[in-house]
């Protein structure tokens, strides 16, 4: 191959994951042709918004489209013949990932709908000097069960397996930690991870 080929359109768009609205997120509500109802607002701590004419509406755990439909249904019943509502999530504090351990800047980072493990580590300004790149754990709750997966970032870089998607509320731990020690026995059995190692913690 003479040169690296250009990506096609499908290569440039990663599959979107639904962004869910949560407490303290800031959203922009636009009601078509009713400017007095259009406004930027913050979701309250219990996950609700209060709108003139529509009253209090539960926004938590809904996508922008689902919330828009709920507002339309409320307005349609009362005051507006055919309301058309659009919602944009301006800033989200509820959609975050925790990055801990041997990274340059541990902390909470916003999750975009195309975030992967490598992008998350880059958000935290990369690995610290003595980070163990073969020792990265993602902790996630699925159907109420805590799960953990051990990844080797060097193997991802080599293309041995895919860079895994990251979701809101994930916890990424780089290097030694109490969560990581769950894997100590596994790791001694598999010195080279050809694939991520996944276990149920609870």
- The Cα 6–Cα 161 span in angstroms is 22
The CATH number given to whatever domain includes residue 101 is 3.10.560.10
74 within some domain:
yes
Looking at residue 189, its pLDDT comes to 47
Half-sphere exposure of 54 (CA within 13 A, CB side): 26
Please state, in angstroms and as integers, the Cα–Cα distance from residue 22 to each residue in 16, 63, 112, 139, 154, following that order: 18, 10, 14, 20, 35
Task: Say whether both 76 and 103 belong to one domain.
Answer: no
DSSP helix, strand, coil percent of the chain (3-state; round to 5): 20, 30, 50
Looking at residue 114, its pLDDT comes to 82
- The Cα 64–Cα 86 span in angstroms is 8
Mean pLDDT, each 10-residue run in order, the chain (202 residues): 69 68 93 93 94 92 94 87 92 87 91 87 91 85 84 89 89 71 54 62 60
Whether this model's pTM surpasses 0.75: no
The CATH number given to whatever domain includes residue 52 is 3.30.1950.10
Looking at residue 191, its pLDDT comes to 46
Looking at residue 12, its pLDDT comes to 62
* Domain ranges, residue 72: 26-91
Task: Say whether both 111 and 191 belong to one domain.
Answer: yes
Is 135 buried (19+), middle (13-18) or exposed (0-12) by CB count in 10 A?
A: buried
Task: Say whether both 60 and 146 belong to one domain.
Answer: no
């Amino acid at each position: 191959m003479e040169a690296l080929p250009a990506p096609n359109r499908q290569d440039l768009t990663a599959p979107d994951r639904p962004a869910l609205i949560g407490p303290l997120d800031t959203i922009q509500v636009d009601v078509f042709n009713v400017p007095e109802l259009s406004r930027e607002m913050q979701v309250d701590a219990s996950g609700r918004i209060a709108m003139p004419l529509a009253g209090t509406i539960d926004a938590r755990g809904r996508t922008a489209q689902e919330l828009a439909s709920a507002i339309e249904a409320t307005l349609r019943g009362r005051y507006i013949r055919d309301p058309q509502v659009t919602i944009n999530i301006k800033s989200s504090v509820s959609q975050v990932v925790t990055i801990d351990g041997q990274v340059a800047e541990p902390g909470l980072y916003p999750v975009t709908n195309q975030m992967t493990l490598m992008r998350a580590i880059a958000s935290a300004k990369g690995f610290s000097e003595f980070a163990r790149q073969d020792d990265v754990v993602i902790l996630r709750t699925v159907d109420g069960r805590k799960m953990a997966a051990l990844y080797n970032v060097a193997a991802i870089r080599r293309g041995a397996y895919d860079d895994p998607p990251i979701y809101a509320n994930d916890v990424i731990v780089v290097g030694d930690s109490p969560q990581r020690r769950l894997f100590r026995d596994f790791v001694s059995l598999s010195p080279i991870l050809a694939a991520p190692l996944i276990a149920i913690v609870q």
